[in-house]
Structure 1
Amino acid sequence: MFSKLKFLLNYTHQYRWWYTGGIIFLILTVWVSVTIPEFIQKSVDLIGTGPDEGRTEFYHNVLLIFALALVLILVRTFSRILIFFPARLIEKQLKGEMFKKLASFGKDYYDQNPTGNIISRVNNDINGVRMITGFGILQIGNVLLSLSVTPYKMWKMSPALTLYVIVPMLIVFIAVRIGMAIMVKNTRLRMDILQRLSGKTISFLSGNSVIKNYNIYSYAEEEVQKENLSLFDKTMNIAWIRSFILPLLGNLGQILKIVVLFAGGMFVINGEFTIGELTEYIAYSALLAQPVMGLGWLLTVLQQGFVGISSLQTIMNRNGVDDERKLLPVHEKEQLFKDGIHVKNLSYTYHNGERPELKDISFSIEPGQVIGLTGKVGSGKTTLINCLNGYLRPEKGMVYFGEKDAAFLRGEDIRSLVRTVTQEVFLFSDTIENNIFLGAEKFSVKADFEDVVYKSAFADELTRMPMKEKTLVGEKGIMLSGGQKQRISLARALYTPCDLLILDDVFSAVDTETERFLIQHVIKNHAAKSVLVVSNRISVLEKTDFTIVLEDGRLAAKGNHRDLLKQSKFYSDILNLQQEGHKKTKG
């Protein structure tokens, strides 16, 4: 509990003056609320004195009541603005910090946490914090002030009648607390189900083409429906409890009025109360019902909010991949690739793996070189390039940028000089232009837009599009073919300068003519200082200074085209297969 309160204090302390102003206006709200019944009592008693007596004072009291009512509206509005507004600012800040934190995590975190669960946490749990820092703080102040000032006023008028009022309040409060405990339990279960439902929905929507290809609509529908029905059951349980609690809380004021009218009426009959005092007391009982209702909801908000904070703390307290690493000064970062990249006895095992994916690999990439990387499916090619670009972090002493060990460098520093065009292309639901410009705002030097579009072999297709570079690509680039998406991703990488450009199987989705064009403008003309090409196409690999052949995570061979024809059976086999395929195509 202490850690949760400390978590809240870290954020609310930033807006302490907002909250201080809100509490001051809340005090004024309660003071005006308990002052109005006094003038109501005087006005009602003046009515019974006759048409002529006290007319002026009666008018005076009514005007005061009207003025106080206007003041009440004003101060109550300001109290809510000053308390609710910082709650929204805290929500905004938390979402920004959560995104930054999530972006700092490595592959292991996302392997263990589905996207739907993460989205549900960001939305639901942060909303719980907002409710505590807004509605929760307002109700804490309101309950403390109202349940101290209002009972005092009532006790001052009649201790006996106050005791009559407290009994039904306690009964209602106990019933509400039991109902609230059941509702909170069901709310937690509902949040868990909602996370699972969000995860499955996103998964099935992303894999919609697979569902269609394998005709497994019924399976997907059953899985979603199962979680949907569970969500419905928990939601209905909450609705049943609400249907009991809300009427009970909503009618608490009416219950108190009946009790006061009956018991207070006897006081009037016995001459202990005037009609005006009874009216004043009924007004106080109505004021007392509101904080009791608020107390019930306050406890619910606090319980749900603290559950959300626990969930958020599991993310916020987790160390990111680079949390303990410091950014390099600009001049040191600019010199990182001066002496190239050196891989020394690199071995890598995934967090959930049982055996190493890479084993004892050594090679160097010098500035100005073009290097090839090839191997069978599952040989470790993608793992190797992810160790070079900082997405995966090998142990110290295995990858060096010049003399600096990559294990001590931030991923941000590594990726400022290493740019990767992956085989799994991702385009945002935006224009072609904005997808190419992505991330370029932090670079002072940028390439010419038309030049990178031309070098990526996308210029002709762009001119045929009705809106040119303003064309929307759709969700994940759904409006484009695989080759078009690949070339836009390549243009994105070429738009900002880098020292090492990694092309992970970017030629797989293009035809021979486009491949030849890309080889000329990206590889031969050196689109970056050095280029690492991952491919199984010999027409690409024969243009490199040397090529690395991986087999089962090991470096099986290394050399130029001629060397590899002698050293590697895999390399010579794919050359023969591609030559035979080329002959058949011509025939």
Structure 2
Amino acid sequence: MSEHSTLDSFALYKRLFRYLRQYWKMFAVSLLAMSLAAATEPLFASLMKPLIDGGFVDKDKNAMIWTPLAIVGLFLVRGATSYVNEYTTSYLSGHLVQSLRQEMFGKLLRLPNRYFDDNASGRLLSRIAFDVGMVTEAGFNVITVVVKDGITVIGLLALLLYTDWQLTLICLAVLPLVTLIVRVVGKRLRGLSRQNQHHMAQLTQVLGETIDCQRVVKIYGGEAYESDRFARAAGAIRHNAIKQSSMSSLNTGVTQLVISMALAAILYFATLRAHTGNFTAGDFMSFLTAMLMLFAPVKRITSISQSLQRGLAAAESVFGFLDEAPEPDHGRKVLAQPRGAIEFSGVTFRYPGAERDALSGVDLSIRPGETVALVGSSGSGKTTLVSLIPRFYDPADGQIRLDGVPLSDYTLASLRSQIALVSQEVVLFNDTVAANIAYGRLGEVGRDAIVAAARAANALEFIEAMPQGFDTLIGENGVRLSGGQRQRLAIARALLKNAPILILDEATSALDTQSERLVQAALENLMKNRTTIVIAHRLSTIENADRIVVMDQGRILEVGGHAALLAAKGRYAQLHAIQFRDHAAHAGAALSDDGRV
């Protein structure tokens, strides 16, 4: 559980106000406008006495003129102060939301990989997109109710007591009962709101899965199943909405009944008081107006806990996220022009919750400019090993050195600036071709450098065939491109970065033969004069590597050249024989199919 689960309202506002210190003048204006707007409520009720007694009973012409003008002036003041209050509140909440979102996004960029492994992307999105708004909305809503409605209630109660304290006691006797009704109904509505959030989450999940997996839905005939899931979620939301509506209506009806009973009692006793001559028609009208105006702010004040709890829940989420520990970046050395000598010494690593080590006592030295290939079955630790080089993870034991210096001594930014990565799962952005190739350096490089990188990656031909060439939008994650085209854009991006250390994580495993040839040729251009670590399932693509490292269950079994490892007849020779046999079988099947045709 987060430490913020114990946040109270004071802690919430204390932390929120840190973001508003530079806007304290605007906040002061907001509070002043709020107070003046609230003060107009009891003043309006008090004007009922001179209006009725002076204008209708005594036929006083002066009262008939100044009282309506005073009411108009009062509403002018209320309108102006309410506008100022709304504007300043909107201004402050807008800046607060922006500040929190920017801080959360900055934190997002500095979080370690482990955090993303443990948290769903949808939850991260909702925190930044929605939870921040709930914090500020609830925060300013509570402030508005406490200040504005608090002043209104105090002013109206003072007017009631001044007009007739005995009748005020009848009015006050009803307030606890109204408060109790509001609390009971509010508790039920909060429960229904939580259920509604759950149903909305289910509806959103069905929508998201159907959109993301629409090809699977179509090919496996899942339309009826998904329609049924959606109908159940939509029906639950409809049923919940009816419950909320009926509960709100019941609350309104019962509250109005209680108020009408109090009003009847007040009318009875006011009539008795009028017979004695101590209670004028103006007193009664002023009292009645103040009493009716009192119930709305009292109801809002008694319901404030719901907004406060909603804001506290959102604050736990927002501030809990902001308090997450960032990636450890304690290095002081700036890596300028590394030679590219990488050394693993007794490196051990285990993922949280895993039963065994992903890497166990790995020792490996890679010379500057050398191409080293990592091979082994799935789960042998190849990807984990290369993930430690840019410090996506830190080893639990052992040390990794670059040019003789531990990786942790370098600043993260300078270390990663010297590393280029091309993986099987290409990540592209919904932007232009040029922006994707020059990602991270768009304002630093010219169009000629981008074109040269595309040419070296064998991507220039298909880029120039696009409608707008390098300015063509490629869609979300390059959806308008083929797998080979996406891969070549990733290679062009790595070429443009021109980093001395290159990591290739199964960069050709998902491609057809023709695309693989083009990508392989581009990779050969990319690997020149660089320290390169290659992960490959297709052993035919790494036969020319300087050294091949065979891994199994987080350990290194063999190291050597292609010919030497085959001659040793160890694990590499077994993997090679299996792949060669499978390849021959597929080739034979293809020839057989051609013969039948």
Instruction: Tell me the TM-score normalised to structure 1 length.
Output: 0.87
Where does 1:487-498 land on structure 2 (aligned, <5 Å)? 487-498=488-499
Give 1:69 shift: 1.0
How far did 1:76 drift?
1.5
Distance 2:489 2:61 in 1: 84
- Counterpart of 2:474? 473
CA displacement, residues 478-520 of structure 1 (integer Å, 9 cap, x when unaligned): 2222222222222333333423221212223445555444444
Verify the 8 A CA contact 2:182 2:299 in the aligned structure 1: no
CA–CA distance in 2 between the matches of 1:7 and 1:539?
A: 61
What corresponds to 1:326 in structure 2? 330
| 1:573 corresponds to | 577
Deviation at 1:114? 2.8
On the 8 A contact 2:350/2:396 being kept in 1, the answer is no
- 1:14 corresponding residue in structure 2: 19
Residue 100 of structure 1, aligned match among 93, 103, 106: 106
What is the distance in 2 between the residues matched to 1:155 and 1:28? 21
Matches of residues 392-407 of structure 1 in structure 2 within 5 Å? 392-407=393-408
Name whichever of 575-584 and 381-390 sits farther off.
Answer: 575-584
Tell me the residue number matched to 1:483.
484
203-212 or 359-368: bigger deviation: 203-212
Q: 1:390 aligned to 2:391? A: yes
Measured in 2, the distance between the counterparts of 1:445 and 1:356 equals: 46
Gaps of 5+ in 2: 1-5
Segments of structure 1 that go 5 or more residues without pairing to the other structure are none
State the one-letter code of the partner of 2:459.
Answer: F
CA distance in 1, matches of 2:564, 2:314: 60
How has the CA–CA distance of structure 1 residues 315 and 39 changed in structure 2, closer, same or farther, with 3 Å as cutoff?
A: same
1:294 pairs with 2:300? yes
1:398-455 C-alpha deviation (Å, 9 max, x unpaired): 3222344335666544422222222122333333333334333586899811112222
Q: For 1:525 and 1:107, locate their aligned partners in 2 and report how far apart those are by CA, in whole Å.
A: 27
- The partner residue of 1:242 within 245, 248, 263 is 248
Cα separation, partners in 2 of 1:377 and 1:213, compared to 1, 3 Å: farther
With over 3 angstroms needed to count, the CA separation of the structure-2 counterparts of 1:66 and 1:4, relative to structure 1, is closer
C-alpha change, 1:133 and 1:42, in structure 2 (3 Å) is same
SS of corresponding position for 1:60 = helix
Could you tell which deviates more after superposition, 495-504 or 264-273? 264-273
- CA drift of 1:281 comes to 1.8
The answer to whether the 8 Å contact 1:430/1:472 transfers is yes
Q: 1:505 to 1:58 in 2, by over 3 A?
A: same
Counterpart in 1 of 2:156? 150
Quick one: which amino acid aligns to residue 325 of structure 1? Answer: D
Tell me, yes or no, if the aligned pair for 1:26 and 1:79 is still in contact at 8 Å. Answer: yes
Cα deviation for residue 217 of structure 1 reads 4.8
Q: Which moved more, 1:537-546 or 1:214-223?
A: 214-223
Determine if contact 1:538/1:574 at 8 Å carries over to the other structure: no
Q: 1:14 to 1:126 in 2, by over 3 A?
A: closer
Quote the residue 1:540 is aligned against: 541
- Residue in 1 aligned with 2:168? 162
DSSP 3-state at the match of 2:380: coil
1:361-372 alignment, distance < 5 Å: 361-372=362-373
Is 2:552 the counterpart of 1:551?
yes
Provide the aligned C-alpha RMSD in A: 3.4
User: 2:341–2:367: 8 Å Cα contact kept in structure 1?
Assistant: yes
Q: Paired residue for 1:28?
A: 36
Query: Does the 8 Å CA contact 2:424/2:508 hold for their aligned counterparts?
Result: no
Deviation at 1:144, TM superposition (A): 2.2
Aligned partners of 1:497 and 1:528 also within 8 Å = no
Counterpart of 1:461 in 2: which secondary structure? helix
Q: CA deviation at 1:137?
A: 1.0
Distance change >3 Å, CA 6–CA 540, structure 1 → 2: same
Query: 2:10 pairs with 5, 10, 34, which one?
Result: 5
Question: Quick one: distance in 2 between partners of 1:231 and 1:414?
Answer: 51
- For residues 566 and 175 of structure 2, the distance between their equivalents in structure 1, rounded to whole angstroms, comes to 90
The answer on 1:88 being equivalent to 2:94 is yes
Q: CA deviation at 1:151?
A: 0.4
Residue type of the partner of 2:566? L
Secondary structure at 1:426 match in 2: coil
Partner of 1:523: 524
* Aligned match of 2:182: 176
Structure 1 residues 451-470: aligned runs within 5 Å: 451-470=452-471
Quote the offset at 1:73 in angstroms. 0.5
What is the SS of the residue equivalent to 1:448?
helix
Give the drift of 1:181.
Answer: 1.7
Structure 1 stretch displaced more, 131-140 or 543-552: 543-552
Q: How many residues align?
A: 580
Letter aligned with residue 573 of structure 2: K
What displacement does 1:354 show? 0.4
Distance in 1 (alpha carbons) for counterparts of 2:259 and 2:153: 15
Residue 310 of structure 1 is matched in structure 2 by 316
- Residue 522 of structure 1: how far off its partner (Å): 3.6
Q: 1:138 to 1:249 in 2, by over 3 A?
A: farther
SS of residue in 1 equivalent to 2:533 = strand
In 1, Cα distance between the equivalents of 2:490 and 2:75?
63
Cα distance in 1 for partners of 2:447, 2:383 equals 28
How far residue 63 of structure 1 moved from its aligned partner, in angstroms, is 1.8
Aligned-partner Cα distance in 2 for 1:445–1:369: 30
Partners in 1 of 2:547 and 2:446 — Cα distance? 30
1:200–1:224 contact (8 Å) kept in structure 2: yes
Q: What is the identity, as a one-letter code, of the residue corresponding to 1:11?
A: L
* Secondary structure in structure 1 of the residue aligned to 2:348: strand
Residue 475 of structure 1: how far off its partner (Å): 3.0
Tell me the distance in 2 between the aligned counterparts of 1:352 and 1:200: 29
Contact 1:120 1:198 in 2 (8 A): no
Cα separation, 2, equivalents of 1:373 and 1:281: 87
Check whether the contact 1:211–1:217 (CA below 8 A) recurs between aligned residues: yes
TM-superposed CA distance for 1:133, in Å, is 1.9
Query: What amino acid sits opposite 2:18 in the alignment?
Result: H
In structure 1, distance between residues paired with 2:171 and 2:203: 47
Which residue does the alignment assign to 2:3? none
Which of 268-277 and 568-577 deviates more?
A: 568-577
- 1:126 equivalent in alignment to 2:132: yes
Name the SS for the 2:303 alignment partner.
helix
- TM-score, structure 2 as length reference: 0.86
Deviation at 1:159, TM superposition (A): 0.5
In structure 2, what residue type is equivalent to 1:15? Answer: L
Deviation at 1:111, TM superposition (A): 4.2
